[in-house]
Structure 1
């Protein structure tokens, strides 16, 4: 294997691939990147056996071959080289030589034939969506995913396709985010799949805000998306996502509109003195007034008052401050609309007149 490539061309896809590779591996070869040269094309592959990213680049002066390189060492070398540096890479036995006009490096490599295959099932379904729309859908929902929850179906994101209707849902059991939109082309599909947490995070990094159409292919246990010159693949979570529809089947109080910047700033200040473990803050609603307060075991207290347009009876409800801040910060407009269930069992946060995405935060007892 032998080829030359510009450092600035190599670095972005290399960073994407290395982000998939876990720092601690049970198989040493999974700490490496698989590099294959065929007909002036470099194919780089990184996987943790749950997620895989494959990137293809054009190279010059290529001699066919395969090798695996230590991923993070290779990335660190390329990242620290001067911009626009031409890198010559050549395999010599069980070593790979990297050379630039001023630098020389030798990296040990493992046999490419031992690199594990990412076995994908036959992709039975597919649909098309723009890169920008998919990225927005992920960004508006992924922050609500659980992390290492025993209910493993919550450690991921629900992707629901119903003909041309797209719905993404994420929840950690205490809060929930929903994104709903329409695809430009009807799919004829009715499918619900759960993309794992790490897969969602890596896919979001790959996507940009452009209008480039992406083909999303999936089966009952795998998903694959082609993004620019990269192919993203992931195993799906083998489970059924819980029915969250019941949260809508209840009576609600009238929506309360609050200026988003004022609410976010007040929450941020009050949260400083909230209990560090539970992060609880209490909302007291009264005639045209919202008081937000918090206290902690050191008997420290904080209180903020906001003028609002609310003329009904008084009531109080408590939330995790960080959950509320995450929801409010993901709104794009200048107004946050809070719609609270009549029995104070949940709170919807969205923008007035905006139906694409909404957030739900469950209250807590203080």
Structure 2
């Protein structure tokens, strides 16, 4: 096998694909990338048997073939080569040779026929969505996923496909993020389908979808897997097997109070007061009064912090304790000038939202301080 490719065509795809490879593998070949020539270039593939990413790369094929190379070493070598250079990859016997100008590297190989690919199921249903829309929905909700929770179905992102619309939801049991968007390709969709994407898949999708303007992404849904086609990349992932909790029951409806806050102002104040918060709780006491929000923090060392912020609120005085980290996570992911807070009392969860993005909301549970 011998191929020639421009560095700028290879490195971005190599970076995306190689990210799937785990440092510690039970099978040595899973530390490798599969390289297989096609009619107009070659296909680069990596998998951990739960997630697989493949990328088509245009190149000159001098001699067709297939081989696997060490993922990290091959990626590091190609990234270190000069910009705008041309890279030659040739396989002879059991070695892979990377050449560029006067540079030459010899890498170990393993047979391509031994590579255990992750095959997607026959597609039961499929649809296309604007890439920028899907990227925004994932970005706005994925931060609320649980990590290593015994309730394994929370360690992922819910993708709910409904007639005419797409919904993403993430929760760790203490806060919840939800976004939805109308999708024209789903107008003829007849039922509701829920997919739980694993955390690692979500992280890779965020990278692959970022910055794609004017493009569409195709989702091909099987019973236990989903294939996601993003440009020249194909993501095949197993789904988390489980039933996601009824998130609608977590979203409070009887919230009588509403306050409008300047997002940057409250974010900066929370970041300052958080410095003295108790490390284990990260609690902040928030008192809503007419025209003012008062933030109070204390810790076991009897250190205290107080701040007051001017807000748009007309109502009685209400004090609620919150995890400051949960608030900051929401404020960091939003990009509008204002954030609306709807609340009732210290026993009921509050809802945060951007008034200009009504299809996105964030539920934060109160805490005792």
Measured against the shorter chain, the TM-score band is over 0.9
Q: In the alignment, which residue of structure 1 is the partner of 2:327?
A: 324
Equivalent residue for 2:230, pick from 224, 227, 230 = 227
- TM-superposition CA deviations, 1:67-94 (whole Å, max 9, x none): 1000000010111111011111111111
Aligned equivalents of 1:336 and 1:323: distance in 2? 14
Q: Distance in 1 between matches of 2:251 and 2:141?
A: 18
CA distance 1:216–1:187, shift in 2 (3 Å): farther
- What is the TM-score with the length of structure 1 in the denominator? 0.97
Residue 192 (structure 1) aligned with residue 184 (structure 2): no
Q: Deviations along 1:34-84, whole A, 9 cap, x unmatched?
A: 001133421110011111011111211421111100000001011111101
Number of residue pairs matched by the alignment? 366
Q: For the structure 1 residues 63 and 183, does the alpha-carbon distance in structure 2 shift closer, same or farther, using more than 3 Å as the test?
A: same
Give the drift of 1:312: 2.1
Partners of 1:321 and 1:178 lie apart in 2 by 19
Distance 2:199 2:319 in 1: 34
Is 1:307 aligned with 2:310? Answer: yes
CA drift at 1:249: 5.0
* SS of the residue 2:184 aligns to: coil
User: Which residue number in structure 1 is paired with residue 282 of structure 2?
Assistant: 279
- The Cα RMSD (Å) is 1.4
Match of 1:238 in 2: 241
Give 2:164's aligned residue. Answer: 164
Is 1:341 the counterpart of 2:321? The answer is no
**Aligned: 1:258 with 2:275:** no
Give the SS at the match of 1:134: helix
Preserved contact between residue 45 and residue 52 of structure 2 (Cα < 8 Å): yes
Matched, 1:6 2:6: yes
TM-score, with structure 2 as normaliser = 0.96
Q: Which runs of 5+ in 1 are unaligned?
A: none
2-side partners of 1:147 and 1:46: how far apart? 24
State the SS of the aligned residue for 2:260: strand
Distance 1:81 1:95 in 2: 20
Conservation of the 8 A alpha-carbon contact between 1:253 and 1:342: no
The whole-number CA distance in structure 1 between the counterparts of 2:54 and 2:47 is 9
- Do the aligned partners of 1:257 and 1:338 also contact (CA within 8 Å) in 2? yes
- Which range is displaced more, 147-156 or 54-63? 54-63
Q: Distance in 2 between matches of 1:57 and 1:109?
A: 20
The alpha-carbon deviation at position 290 of structure 1 amounts to: 1.2
Q: What whole-Å deviation, never above 9, does each CA across 1:126-168 have from its counterpart, x for those lacking one?
A: 1110110110011011111111111010011111111111111
Task: Write the distance in 1 (CA, Å) between the matches of 2:195 and 2:38.
Answer: 35
